[in-house]
Every structure is written in structure tokens, then in C-alpha cells.
Amino acid sequence: MMRRLIIEQKDGKDFFFFPGWYKVRAMKKEVISFLIVGGINTVIHWLVYWGCLSFMTHQPAFAIAFAVGTLISWALNSKRTFDVDLNAKKLVLYFIFYGFSYLLGRSVLYLCVDLAEINKYPAILIVTLVGIPVNFIGSRLVLKGSLRT
């Protein structure tokens, strides 16, 4: 059964939408907020990673930067992106999920630096791009309990 298309006029302009369009708008808002929070967190993550590279190899530098970034990500995404309370249970679940994300990132970093011989400084960019969709879905599941709006 097809949903009915609704036509609405605002300020002399026609708007066409399906019932439930507000759910799409809510998800869009979360995605945009996740990208902004993620951008801030990514800069911090990269700065910690690059700073650690001056006295250690890329894998331990990635582990330290990842732990710092995950804690910041939990706090910012809880309050700003998904509007949920900060609590210890969700922090533990968040770190468990991000443990899987860490293994994904570490694997991509290994592929880039050790196998493909990409320079260790820009390799983190590739790791970040691979992780964005995975981390959005995982963060939303852990913090809100659902992918539905």
C-alpha cells in the first residue's frame, strides 16, 4: 500500500512530504550533529596520535589516541548528538562497542602502513573514513538502544 503524498503550503511555497517525514529530519539532525561532534573528536584524536608518534610507533600511538577519543566521543555524543544522560553502564557498553571499532581501525591502519606502505601520518585519514558509518550505527545503538528515531 502506498503512502499518501501530502501537499502543504508555507510562505506561498508548496512542500511535498510523506507521513513520517519528521523521522527523517530527526535522523538527519543526528547525523549532522554526529559529524560535527566527530569532527571535533577527530581533530583531538589526530593531534594525540601525531603527538604520540614523536616517541612511539604507530600502533601504540593509535591505541592511546583511540582511548582518549572514545571517552570524548561518549560524552559529546551522549549529550549533543543523541540527547541521553551520561551513565556508567552506557560508558562500559560504549567502550565494548568501540573495542570492535578499534580492531577495525587497527586492521585498516596495519593494511595501510605495513602492507600498502602508506605514510603513517595520512594513513589515519583512511582509518577515519572507514570508521565513520560503523561508529554512527554503533553509537546510536549503544546510546539510544535503537536505530529507529
Residue 18 lies in a domain: no
Residue 36 lies in a domain: yes
The average pLDDT across 91-112 equals 94
The average pLDDT across 59-72 equals 93
Quick one: pLDDT band at residue 124, thresholds 50, 70, 90?
confident
Residue 2 lies in a domain: no
- N-to-C CA span, the chain: 22
Residue 11 lies in a domain: no
Query: What is the percent of the chain with per-residue pLDDT over 90, rounded to a whole number?
Result: 59
CA gyration radius for the chain?
Answer: 19
Note the pLDDT of residue 30.
85
Note the pLDDT of residue 53.
94
Residue 8 lies in a domain: no
The answer to whether the predicted template modeling score (pTM) of the entire model surpasses 0.85 is no
Residue 91 has pLDDT above 60, yes or no: yes
Residue 138 lies in a domain: yes
How many domains is the chain built from? 1
**Closest to 91 (Cα-Cα) out of 77, 109, 102:** 77
Query: Taking phi first (over 0 means left), then psi (-120 to 50 degrees means alpha), and beta for anything else, what does residue 117 get?
Result: left
Higher-pLDDT residue of 4 and 43 is: 43
Q: Which residue's C-alpha cell is 591505541?
A: 63
For 9-60, the pLDDT digits (tens) are 555 554 444 455 445 566 788 888 999 998 999 899 989 999 999 999 998 9
Residue 63 Cα to chain centre, angstroms: 17
Give me the domain span that covers residue 70.
25-144
What secondary structure does DSSP assign to 96-129, as a single string? HHHHHHHHHHHHHHIIIIIIS---TTTHHHHHHH
Residue 108 lies in a domain: yes
Residue 17 lies in a domain: no
Residue 123 has pLDDT above 50, yes or no: yes
